């Protein structure tokens, strides 16, 4: 009998080796497929960024033409400021698209051709501007040939942008299909490997049943592994399904109709601008304004979905004073225009991601600048201290066993009623009409999302016509 048991031990070893090989193979395949999912997810986001950037580029082109037209019609030099800004913004967006598509020869050719047309249009605008400055009229400058060239030039630019968008949409569909195939394949592959692993494990347990009680331990380990693997698969499926649905909605169901509305309204304005009068022009302007606002809402929604999401950026020790220096440098123009005074010192070094922390302070300072009181120079003060234990104890979501920093961003702006202290962090929630202040009301929502993702908390205190204070609680490293 003892001799007969020896082969069973060999089977145990064989089954164990096979099980181990299957688990390793399954893990390797799963890791490979998961990496492909991550890659094509990033590529989808990249393609979305190109499409959004082309929309922004076209918007700067329209703004440029509208501004130069306004100047030539009215002589108001305020239009020239908008014209120059649109040229600067257009160059920045164009270069950004050029960098984004550097690996796509088709897009690079389109962009080079587009650049030529844009320069030609800009040359015409500059000559028109100089002629008008000297003669205070365009009489003797315009003729039917130049008007026809201008219309054809704009149509050529629009067609090229449509070709760029069409190429990116083709890539988007292709990458989306690959992503879906990988997402659908992952559960099947893991399930198949899991099935054989379970089968081999069961045979192993049966073979060693008469040898020792270790079978119970192995059985429990396998069970725990299966439960963990199942949970991870479910989480991965849920996450990728949400990503797939959101990417589809944002890129197709929302963006495509909006692009058509914008395109057709532009065509109507180009072809029938002289025929539209009174309420007709007013309606066209409202259509354009609504389309632009919708585009901004979609862009902000995408930004909100990305905020706080795990990224390749590493977590490191970050000095908040360095972050503030960088943010203030970015906001230099707005700060100068409003003659704002911003004070901060002795800010701590915390653990986090630099991009996220920059976004937090840029949103808060931009918010204070935007909602400043008319005729009063904004004053913004950023301070930091150790968070009192009694404050931490009020919030169950904070870990009571660790220490926190208390960071305050206070201003002397228009403030708000304290009853709305929580409402202002709600996505797309605004306390003022869009005619009073620009924006979609998403900045504070993104800020809260990032702070909470970093195991912190953000609160708001305000008094109408006195100012607002945003209180950030973040863990000490």
Catalogue all structural domains in the chain, each as residue range(s) with its CATH number: 2-306 (no CATH), 316-475 (3.30.565.10)
Alpha-carbon gap, residue 447 to 456, rounded angstroms:
11
- Facing residues of 168 across strands? none
The whole-number pLDDT of residue 296 equals: 54
Q: How many CA atoms lie within 13 A of 236 on its CB side?
A: 23
For the chain, residues with pLDDT lower than 70 are 1-12, 15, 142, 147, 186, 190, 193-194, 196-197, 199-219, 236, 239-260, 276, 278, 281, 285, 289-313, 427-441
398: which residues sit within 8 A by CB, 6+ positions away? Answer: 392, 404, 455, 457, 473
Q: Which helix (H) or strand (E) holds 262?
A: helix 255-272
- Facing residues of 321 across strands? none
Q: What is the torsional sign of CA 225, 229, 235, 236?
A: positive
Chain segment 16-50, per-residue pLDDT in tens = 787 777 778 777 777 777 777 777 788 888 888 88
The reply to whether the predicted model has a pTM over 0.75 is no
Alpha-carbon gap, residue 65 to 117, rounded angstroms:
14
Alpha-carbon gap, residue 293 to 438, rounded angstroms:
10
Whether the Cβ atoms of residue 53 and residue 96 lie closer than 8 Å to each other: yes
Whether the Cβ atoms of residue 221 and residue 58 lie closer than 8 Å to each other: no
Whether the Cβ atoms of residue 331 and residue 366 lie closer than 8 Å to each other: yes
């Amino acid at each position: 009998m003892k001799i007969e048991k020896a082969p069973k031990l060999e089977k145990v070893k064989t089954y164990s080796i096979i099980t181990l090989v299957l688990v390793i193979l399954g893990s390797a395949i799963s890791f490979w497929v998961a990496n492909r999912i991550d890659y094509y997810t990033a590529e989808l986001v990249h393609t979305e960024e190109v499409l959004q950037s082309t929309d922004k580029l076209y918007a700067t082109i329209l703004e440029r033409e509208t501004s130069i037209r306004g100047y030539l019609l009215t002589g108001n030099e305020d239009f020239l400021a908008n014209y120059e800004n649109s040229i600067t913004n257009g160059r920045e967006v164009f270069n950004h698209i050029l960098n984004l598509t550097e690996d796509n020869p088709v897009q690079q050719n389109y962009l080079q051709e587009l650049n030529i047309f844009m320069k030609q249009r800009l040359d015409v605008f500059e000559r028109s501007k100089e002629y008008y400055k000297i003669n205070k009229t365009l009489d003797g400058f315009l003729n039917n040939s130049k008007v026809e060239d201008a219309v054809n030039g704009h149509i050529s630019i629009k067609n090229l942008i449509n070709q760029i968008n069409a190429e990116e949409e083709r890539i988007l569909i292709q990458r989306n299909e690959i992503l879906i195939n990988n997402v659908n394949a992952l559960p099947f592959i893991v399930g198949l490997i899991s099935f054989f692993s379970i089968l081999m494990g069961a045979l192993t347990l049966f073979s060693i049943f008469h040898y020792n009680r270790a079978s119970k331990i192995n059985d429990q380990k396998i069970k725990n592994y299966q439960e963990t693997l199942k949970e991870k698969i479910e989480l991965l499926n849920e996450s990728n399904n949400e990503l797939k649905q959101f990417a589809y909605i944002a890129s197709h169901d929302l963006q495509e109709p909006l692009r058509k509305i914008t395109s057709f309204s532009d065509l109507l304005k180009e072809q029938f601008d002289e025929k539209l009068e009174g309420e007709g022009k007013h309606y066209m302007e409202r259509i354009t304004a609504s389309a632009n606002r919708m585009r901004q809402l979609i862009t902000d929604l995408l930004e909100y979905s990305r905020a706080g999401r795990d990224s390749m950026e590493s977590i490191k020790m970050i000095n908040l004073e360095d972050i503030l220096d960088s943010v203030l440098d970015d906001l230099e123009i707005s700060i100068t225009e409003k003659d704002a005074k911003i004070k901060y010192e002795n800010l701590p070094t915390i653990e986090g991601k630099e991009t996220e922390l920059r976004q937090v302070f840029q949103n808060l300072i931009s918010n204070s600048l935007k909602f400043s009181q008319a005729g009063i120079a904004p004053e913004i003060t950023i301070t930091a201290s150790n968070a009192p234990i009694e404050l931490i104890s009020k919030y169950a979501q904070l870990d009571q066993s660790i220490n926190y920093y208390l960071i305050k961003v206070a201003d002397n702006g228009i403030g708000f009623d304290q009853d709305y202290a929580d409402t202002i962090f709600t996505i797309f929630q605004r306390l003022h009409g869009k005619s009073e202040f620009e924006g979609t009301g998403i900045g504070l929502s993104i800020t809260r999302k990032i702070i909470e993702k970093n195991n912190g908390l953000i609160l708001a205190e305000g008094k109408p016509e006195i100012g607002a204070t945003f209180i950030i609680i973040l863990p000490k490293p």
